[in-house]
Structure 1
Amino acid sequence: DGVTIQDSPAEIGIEFGGMMRITQFEVTGPNGPVPLDGQPGSEQVDRYFVKPSDTLSAGDYQVHWRGLSDDGHMMSDGFNFSVEP
């Protein structure tokens, strides 16, 4: 959270300490919602990564996710990052 990276990332994702079924994963940047290659599925995962459909321009980005934990609890969180040219 809060990291600044050089150039557009090849993928954006999260890792969990247990299994999670991701139900929503959205990235928003300076130009609005970021199109992503791939959508959350019905399988449980301990890590979830997607690729931006296009190169991300310089600016600040917010990631918001929601999921269902292995024990049935709904969870959500997010993180921020910045891209510098």
Structure 2
Amino acid sequence: MKRGSTYWRSLEPMRVSHRSGSTANSASSGARLLRPIPTVALALGLLLVGAGPTSATPEAGTLHLMSDPGTVLHLRLDSTEPAAGTALPASPEEIRLFFSEPPQMQGTTVRLADAGGELVATTEAVADEADARQVFIVPAEPLAPGAYTVHWRVIAQDGHAQRGDFDFEVRGSR
């Protein structure tokens, strides 16, 4: 067969001109348009896999796109008691944090601060015996009415540290 025949042309690599609208081979136009699709699909897939809550109180039905890679790859805070942002009629007997996996207790801290930023006396953070994903503290005495912030820091089993905080309010008397 001759070098210029259709058979040989089909075996040659497709050449694409970088000038707008110009192609050396009509098949290359379609190939050029299809090349970005796997890349775009992969990027979209990574974003959707990374979707998840970015705080202790995710809004229902909200999609968060990889704003915090730790939410997917590492331990995360799932919920709290009292719930973040709530106003309680009386002092809670304990403050409990629910994590996605059991944290290492060595290096785990949970601190309670009043509205002025002063630390409130509590027990050390303890893992629940029945479910090690739950960590709690107990105030040394009933909390006075006011706003409080819980600051937490935990070490995941893979060694990565996670931290955060949440607020609640006590409205009732001691």
TM-score of the superposed pair, with normalisation by structure 2: 0.44
Residue matched to 1:10: 93
- Higher Rg: 2
Q: Distance in 1 between matches of 2:139 and 2:161?
A: 25
Residues 1:40 and 1:7: Cα distance change in structure 2 (over 3 Å) = closer
Give the aligned residue type for 1:36: T
Q: Distance in 2 between matches of 1:21 and 1:2?
A: 27
Q: Which runs of 5+ in 2 are unaligned?
A: 1-83, 127-131
Residue matched to 1:63: 150
Q: Secondary structure at the match of 1:19?
A: coil
TM-score of the superposed pair, with normalisation by structure 1: 0.86
Question: Structure 1 or 2: larger helix share?
Answer: 2
- Decide which of 71, 89, 102 is 1:19's aligned counterpart: 102
Question: Structure 1 or 2: larger strand share?
Answer: 1
Q: Does 1:40 align with 2:125?
A: yes
Pairs aligned (count): 82
Q: Secondary structure at the match of 1:52?
A: coil
Offset at residue 30 of structure 1 (A): 3.4
Residue matched to 1:30: 115
RCO higher in 1 or 2 (8 Å CA, sep ≥ 6)? 1
Provide the identity percentage. 28
Provide the alpha-carbon RMSD of the alignment.
1.8
CA deviations 1:25-67 (Å, max 9, x no partner) are 1000136211002x136xxx31111110011000000000101
Q: Which deviates more, 28-37 or 5-14? A: 28-37
Q: Does the aligned pair in 1 maintain the 2:125–2:137 contact within 8 Å? A: no
Q: Which runs of 5+ in 1 are unaligned?
A: none
